[in-house]
């Protein structure tokens, strides 16, 4: 049976003020334009105002300043998206994970599994690893030697934790993530590459989320460190000895080169590239598809991408960019010539 809540219960859950019928029963969530009776939606972007005025939802989460445009019950808050996040969790299905080790799992006799933990079919857990209370190791996950999976953390499926990786409490690792593979350390010997041993590991703090197919490399000497509350999207590459500060969020397809330090409370949008051995201060926000090639020591928003445009215009602009150096040289010569002319006495003054 699907979950149902009164609007008053949802208001208390998300910390919003109730406007309308608190006994209205809500059975699910939906977008403004698709919502029907018995569902709740939210309004946070002015571009969707036309949907707000015509919505058939039984309730909408929005700001007090937008309440006049809402034709139905409302939950009023200064942060509608945060309230929406809390409401959606009320309707998320609760999975009964059970307890214990599946018969089809392979657990080394030197591993330690808490009685309240779950190890699913196909999982492999190496010697010296420790799985704490209420942790979940999903199907076909592989944990190497001396791995720590903290209390309440979950590995959903086919996650790989290499030797020595330490995962904190209440973390969520999505399918296909690989944590603790070797960093890209190579030394050149007359054109041939020789591997540098990667002797560190990876440490994740508490409440960290790692997206599907994201990779976090082990450190060369010291650990790669992901601090508490960090949220990593899908298909991100975090190279060896990177450090990411508390509550930083990084979107999909970002690549972070080795030994980079990213501060707390930062955001990196999708497709960002960060070169190695630089620092990003706390509160740095990088726009999508930007390349960060130097340290950013002041908080703020940084953008380095070129926005999409019609191809023919792009071709013309790129042609002009190639001419910038010669144009700058000619401009400098013209400025010098103008200065010489201005320095000459006027014939009328002789």
Contacts of 70-74 with CB under 8 Å at 24 or more apart are 70/19, 70/43, 72/20, 73/7, 73/18, 73/19, 73/20, 73/21, 73/24, 74/18, 74/19, 74/20
Residue 288 is encoded by which pair of tokens? 């999508």
Half-sphere exposure of 204 toward its Cβ, with a 13 Å CA cutoff? 33
User: What's the distance, Cα to Cα, between the start and end of the chain in Å?
Assistant: 101
What are the domain boundaries of the chain?
5-91, 100-302, 312-349
CATH topology identical between 5-91 and 100-302 = no
Does an H or E element contain 322, and which? helix 311-322
Provide the pLDDT for residue 342. Answer: 87
CATH topology of domain 100-302: UDP N-Acetylglucosamine Acyltransferase; domain 1 (2.160.10)
Q: What is the pLDDT of residues 138-184, one digit of tens each?
A: 999 999 999 999 999 999 999 999 999 999 999 999 999 999 999 99
For position 85, what pLDDT does the model report? 98
| Total-model pTM | 0.91
Cα–Cα dist 304/306, whole Å: 7
Catalytic center residues: 240
Q: Residue 200 phi/psi, 5° resolution?
A: -85, -165
- What's CA 94's distance to the chain center, in Å? 24
Helix (H) or strand (E) holding 280: strand 279-280
* H/E run at residue 316: helix 311-322
How confident is the model at residue 293, as a pLDDT? 96
* DSSP H or E stretch at residue 263: none
Retrieve residue 290's tokens: 């930007």
Q: What is the pLDDT of residue 347?
A: 64
CATH number, domain 5-91, options 3.30.70.890, 3.10.129.10, 3.40.1390.10, 1.10.167.10: 3.40.1390.10
DSSP state of 296: B
Low-confidence stretches of the chain (pLDDT beneath 50) = none
């Amino acid at each position: 049976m699907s979950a149902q809540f009164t609007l008053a219960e949802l208001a208390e859950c998300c910390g919003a003020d109730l406007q309308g019928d608190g006994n209205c029963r809500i059975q699910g969530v939906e977008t403004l334009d698709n919502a029907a009776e018995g569902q709740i939606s939210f309004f946070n972007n002015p571009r969707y105002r036309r949907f707000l005025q015509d919505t058939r939802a039984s309730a909408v989460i929005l700001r007090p300043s937008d309440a006049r445009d809402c034709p139905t019950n409302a939950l009023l808050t200064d942060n509608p998206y945060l309230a929406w996040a809390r409401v959606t969790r009320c309707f998320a299905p609760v999975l009964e994970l059970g307890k214990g080790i599946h018969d089809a799992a392979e657990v080394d006799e030197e591993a330690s599994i808490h009685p309240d933990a779950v190890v699913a079919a196909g999982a492999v857990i190496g010697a010296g690893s420790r799985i704490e209370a209420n942790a979940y190791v999903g199907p076909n996950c592989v944990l190497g030697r001396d791995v720590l999976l903290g209390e309440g953390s979950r590995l959903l499926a086919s996650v790989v934790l290499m030797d020595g990786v330490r995962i904190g409490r209440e973390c969520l690792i999505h399918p296909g993530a690989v944590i603790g593979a070797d960093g890209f350390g190579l030394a050149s010997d007359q054109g041939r590459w020789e591997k540098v041993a990667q002797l560190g590991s990876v440490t994740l703090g508490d409440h960290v989320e790692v997206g599907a197919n994201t990779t976090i490399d082990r450190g060369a000497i010291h650990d790669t460190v992901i601090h508490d509350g960090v949220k990593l999207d899908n298909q991100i590459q975090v190279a060896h000895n990177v450090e990411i500060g508390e509550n930083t969020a990084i979107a999909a397809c970002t690549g972070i080169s080795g030994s980079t330090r990213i501060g707390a409370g930062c955001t990196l949008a999708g497709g960002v590239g960060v070169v190695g051995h630089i620092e990003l201060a706390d509160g740095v926000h990088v726009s999508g598809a930007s390349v960060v090639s130097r340290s950013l020591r002041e908080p703020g928003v940084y953008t380095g991408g070129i926005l999409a445009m019609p191809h023919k215009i792009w071709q013309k602009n790129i042609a002009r960019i190639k001419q910038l150096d010669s144009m700058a040289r000619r401009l400098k010569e013209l400025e010098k010539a103008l200065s010489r002319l201005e320095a000459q006495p006027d014939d009328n003054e002789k």
